[in-house]
Structure 1
Amino acid sequence: MARIYATSEDYQAYTGQTPPSDAEVLLAKASRFLESNVFKICWYEVDADGYPSNALVRQAFRDAACAQTEWYDEIGDTTGATGAGWGSVSLGSASLSRSVTNVSGAASPAREIAPAVLDVLGASDLTPDVFRLGSVVDW
């Protein structure tokens, strides 16, 4: 079962804004994205369900999911699809162009870690005894 680190209520408390209508979907996507791109390279202890066992770390993950969701809502894209694609398109007198170097959407803002996520995970109360951002362990 996928872990989801925040709820719509958490989002509203974090942002002070009414959650978007698809907040639960966005929070789930943000949780998956952060887990696969950030949390997996960090050191922290977990409970039986795989969530951080330390309350401060769990709160930071909740806030990080909210920050990533707010980013998705602001840019209007969660997949990177709007950043993929065409070099130039013409239709009558209208002409659009975009660099063809980003054909996959991987360089889209939707595939970036929201700056506020790193602010949350870099907080001074997340001391090295409970959380290490970007820790690599060699077994």
Structure 2
Amino acid sequence: MGRVYATPEQLAVYTGDQAPEGAERLLARASEDVDAALLTAVYAVDDDGDPTDPAVADALAAAVCAQVEYQLATGDDGTGAAGAWDSVSIGPVSLSGRTAGPPAASGVDLAPRAHRALSGAGLLPGVIW
């Protein structure tokens, strides 16, 4: 397993709700998605490969939490097997229909909020989808 950029506690703070069952697995898969989007990113790391700049570490954690939140909202379990909707309900919000958007350049369906977190930290030099 690769590096995991966020904890279940950070996910709970990010979403304002308890971390879901299997949060560690979801965070690990979301971290893989973020890593795939960052293949050309350059930032300082320590000997273990973890970012040394707290702002970068915070952006990676936020991106991973946003990715998990996005996957939960779209009915994905982190495997990528879920389609884009086809009936999703979250409280009073209901989405339906299935759409196939353009494939991401990185091969990852990266959450818009994850993209913003990474872009805001200067980790994405260009468009990733």
TM-score band, normalised by the shorter chain? 0.7 to 0.9
RMSD over aligned CA atoms reads 2.6
- Measure the CA separation in 2 of the matches of 1:46 and 1:20: 30
Post-superposition offset of 1:34: 1.1
The TM-score normalised by the length of structure 2 is 0.72
**Does the CA contact (< 8 Å) of 2:7 and 2:27 recur in 1?**
yes
**Does the CA contact (< 8 Å) of 2:46 and 2:52 recur in 1?**
yes
What whole-Å deviation, never above 9, does each CA across 1:21-56 have from its counterpart, x for those lacking one?
1111100000011102x1222111111111111111
Task: Please list every run of 5 or more consecutive structure 1 residues that lacks an aligned counterpart in the other structure.
Answer: 84-97
2:38 corresponds to = 39
Identity, % of aligned positions? 38
The aligned amino acid for 1:120 is: A
- Measure the CA separation in 2 of the matches of 1:132 and 1:19: 26
Larger radius of gyration: 1
- Measure the CA separation in 2 of the matches of 1:107 and 1:122: 19
2:61 corresponds to = 62
The aligned amino acid for 1:65 is: V
1:87 corresponds to = none
The TM-score normalised by the length of structure 1 is 0.67
Task: Please list every run of 5 or more consecutive structure 2 residues that lacks an aligned counterpart in the other structure.
Answer: 84-97
Aligned pair count reads 108
Question: Is 1:80 aligned to residue 80 of structure 2?
Answer: yes
- Measure the CA separation in 2 of the matches of 1:82 and 1:15: 21
- Measure the CA separation in 2 of the matches of 1:120 and 1:65: 9
